[in-house]
Structure 1
Amino acid sequence: MLPILLYEPLPLIYLCGGATLLATGENGLLLMSASLFYWAGALIWVIRSKNRRTDVLASRGYPTHKFLLFPESLYEFRPFFYSFVGILLLRNTGQTIWLVTGALLILWAIYCLYRRSVNRRHLNRYQYKSAKLKTRLF
């Protein structure tokens, strides 16, 4: 079992490592492995976020986003897709408009992830477990 100091930042390590290798790598095999690292970090992030949610709508299985025609799984990966495209734009273009667009996409993805973490943290997991236990007892 991994220590908690390594286990908790693991998705962020995968995301940052993959993004760094994507931005600086030249070899095709390196770019492929970097994108796999990046998407593995995104997948772990989404799975942990889904399992740790304590808000009421998510626990009852209702869609929690406003895009009802957009599947929940694609909605969850949207900020990671934005940052991935932003990194590719920063990496592969030399024109100013595309560099600014890539930087804005990355900043928007970071903002979306921050807002999601704030909106989904209604209770910490110890409060959630005790509230769940109280509802079972009564």
Structure 2
Amino acid sequence: MTLRRAPLLTLLLTLGATPAEARVRLGELLPAHPWTASGREIVVVYSHDCGDLGALWQAILHSGLTVRAVNAEDVPAEAPQGVNVWRGAEATAFARKLRVGTYPAVLLVQGDRILNAWEGTFTGKLE
């Protein structure tokens, strides 16, 4: 299956269809972060032990939204070219204040408010 431009709704429905238990609270504001909110955007919180996130990154980048990457747990992990990654102790503190239970976590955010959240393993199938 060749992924082209994944509509945001398809991405969110696919992520939401997997068995994951997000502890991130919907409607809450994001903890302090180093970027300026740009309307609706996606925040990906991940760590070095997430495995291959290629399919997840591809689907997220094709959503057409601004993507923020937070590399938590103080071990550098790659992100796609062109995505600025926030790393270090402050990034880890951000993830913990969100109460992320499982990496990767994908947040749909608007104006720093969490609209939707997903945590867990992505199979790469957008159906």
Q: Which interval holds the TM-score relative to the shorter structure?
A: under 0.3
Report 1 or 2 for greater relative contact order, CA contacts < 8 Å, sequence distance ≥ 6: 2
Query: Where is the strand percentage greater, Structure 1 or Structure 2?
Result: 2
- Give the TM-score, by structure 1 length: 0.25
- Give the TM-score, by structure 2 length: 0.26
* Structure ID, larger Rg: 1
Query: Where is the helix percentage greater, Structure 1 or Structure 2?
Result: 1
